[in-house]
Amino acid sequence: MRYTIVLCLAACACLPAQVRFSRDEITVNVDGKPFTTFHYGADRGKPFLAPLRSASGKIVTRHFPMEEVAGESRDHVHHTGLWFSYDDVNGTKFWENDPSYTKPNMGKIVVRKAEYKDGDRSGTLTATMDWRDTAGKTLLVEDRKMVFDSDPKVRSIDFEITLTAAVDVTLGDTKEGAFAIRLADNFTEKKGAKMVDADGRATMANIWGKRSNWVDYTAEVEGERLGVAIFDHPQNPRHPTYWHARDYGLFALNPFGRNAFDPTQEESQWKLPAGQKLVFRWKVVIHPGDAETGHVADLYKQYAAQK
């Protein structure tokens, strides 16, 4: 597969027709076809990838709030495509932080640098960003590496995220986080979608607030059965992670919360002294949904074996 990842700071009249350019976007194409776009403009509360597409070109993320589509849900304006943030960093909210909100203590995640590298089999996008509180003070510096890989039937993104404390930081205990996708409405349980985890549990009632290696949603999208899975790498802190997986389309994992998911557990106050780092690795896989759960399990085994 040929990958094209494009960053442009100004428009150009001689650009290829299939590539969109903007001051605050990086467009990812796979073999000449659009896959996703990395949005990180100054008017955003946090950067995000949207939309995400299957190998067949079908969109698996919700359009709202980036665009309004008749009949689509319009709740949770801060649910934007695929993103990573958390709602209690020294008391600052980076999850429920859409610029349209008037909530107190809202922070902002600002991209300082973004770079890309094309490749014949994969493409890599890296970004450095500051997690800034309401006064503009940087609490965390995030270095994110995203590797876009594919085969004719599967689209996937490998994430490696390094958080460095710019000051002494405490990550509080809340369910509002952290690595997340807002899936299209087809992936809601009320529309017949199915949610399963690595331990054989099914439905939100049995998966939400539980710990597991992975969770997978499957649904019918424009006549095709498709699946979206998120993998938690076994080398991650607090693996296996808790899942903030909802039946209305929010698909998230949360390594920071604990008591928020399981009241029998002690409240988590994850302290990160200035200069200390946390490294997380996650993988998103968009696959043919007619594959058995065993196929997703095999893909996870391959991922978990990577050092």
DSSP output for 238-288: TSSPEEEE-TTSEEEEESS-STTT-TTSPPP-EEE-TT-EEEEEEEEEEEE
- What is the residue type of 143? D
Beta strand segments in 66-137, E: 82-86, 108-117, 122-132
- DSSP state, 92? B
pLDDT of residue 120: 77
Backbone angles phi, psi at 302, to 5 degrees: -65, -40
Average pLDDT rounded to a whole number, residues 69-98: 97
The candidate with the shortest Cα–Cα distance to 247, out of 192, 285, 284, is 192
Tokens of residue 27, six digits:
């467009």
Q: Which helix (H) or strand (E) holds 297?
A: helix 293-304
| Residues pairing with 272 in the sheet | 169
Q: How far apart are CA 100 and CA 49, in angstroms?
A: 19
Domain ranges for the chain = 3-304
Q: Provide the 10 A C-beta neighbour count for residue 75.
A: 12
The answer to whether residue 272 scores a pLDDT higher than 70 is yes
Confidence category of residue 293, pLDDT binned at 50, 70, 90? low
Backbone angles phi, psi at 298, to 5 degrees: -65, -40
pLDDT of residue 31: 78
Confidence category of residue 23, pLDDT binned at 50, 70, 90? low
Pick the CATH number of 3-304 from 1.10.287, 3.40.50, 2.70.98, 2.40.10: 2.70.98
Per-chain mean pLDDT for the chain: 90
The answer to whether residue 5 scores a pLDDT higher than 70 is no
Burial of 170 (0-12, 13-18, 19+ CB in 10 A): middle
Tokens of residue 201, six digits:
């549990």
Q: Provide the 10 A C-beta neighbour count for residue 195.
A: 25
